[in-house]
Amino acid sequence: MFTKAIVRTPARSMIDGITSASLGKPNHSLALEQHAQYIIALESCGLDVIILPALEDFPDSCFVEDVALLSDDCAILTRPGAYSRRDEGKHILATLEEFYPEVEKISSPGTVDAGDIMMVNDHFYIGLSERTNQFGARQMQSILGKHGLTASTVNLKNVLHLKTGVAYLENNNLLACGEFLQKPEFQDFNIIEVPESESYAANSIWINDTVIMPAGFPETRKLIVGAGYEVLELDASEFQKLDGGLSCLSLRF
Quick one: 85 or 148, whose CB is closer to ligand CIR?
Answer: 85
Specify whether 161 is catalytic: yes
Under rule CB under 6 A, residue 238 binds ligand CIR: no
Under rule CB under 6 A, residue 215 binds ligand CIR: no
Cα–Cα distance between 210 and 225 in angstroms, integer? 10
Quick one: 19 or 220, whose CB is closer to ligand CIR?
Answer: 19
Strand segments (E) across the chain:
4-8, 48-52, 68-70, 75-77, 103-105, 117-120, 123-128, 150-155, 166-168, 173-176, 190-193, 205-207, 210-214, 230-234, 251-252
Instruction: Confirm if 54 and 12 have CB atoms less than 8 A apart.
Output: yes
* Strand pairing class (4-8; 48-52): parallel
Under rule CB under 6 A, residue 220 binds ligand CIR: no
Displacement of CA 226 from its chain's centroid (Å): 24
Can you tell me which of 110, 136, 165, 244 binds ligand CIR, judged by CB under 6 A?
Answer: 244
**DSSP code per residue over 79-106:** --SSGGGTTGGGGTHHHHHHH-S-EEE-
- Stretch in the footprint of ligand CIR (CB under 6 A) among 22-30, 43-51, 63-71, 119-127: 63-71
Q: What is the chain's length?
A: 253
Specify whether 62 is catalytic: no
Of 158, 168, 129, 189, nearest to 247 by C-alpha is: 168
Can you tell me which of 26, 89, 110, 115 binds ligand CIR, judged by CB under 6 A?
Answer: 115
Quick one: 65 or 104, whose CB is closer to ligand CIR?
Answer: 65
13-52 residues in contact with ligand CIR (CB under 6 A) are 17-19
> Residue 8 CB, nearest distance to ligand CIR (Å)?
12
Quick one: 24 or 145, whose CB is closer to ligand CIR?
Answer: 24
Under rule CB under 6 A, residue 61 binds ligand CIR: no
Can you tell me which of 8, 35, 79, 161 binds ligand CIR, judged by CB under 6 A?
Answer: 161
> Which residues, at least 6 apart from 205, have a Cβ–Cβ distance to it below 8 Å?
167, 211, 212, 213, 246, 247, 250, 252
Active-site positions read 161, 248
Binding-site ranges for ligand CIR (CB under 6 A): 17-19, 60, 63, 65-66, 82, 85, 115, 160-161, 163-164, 242-245, 248
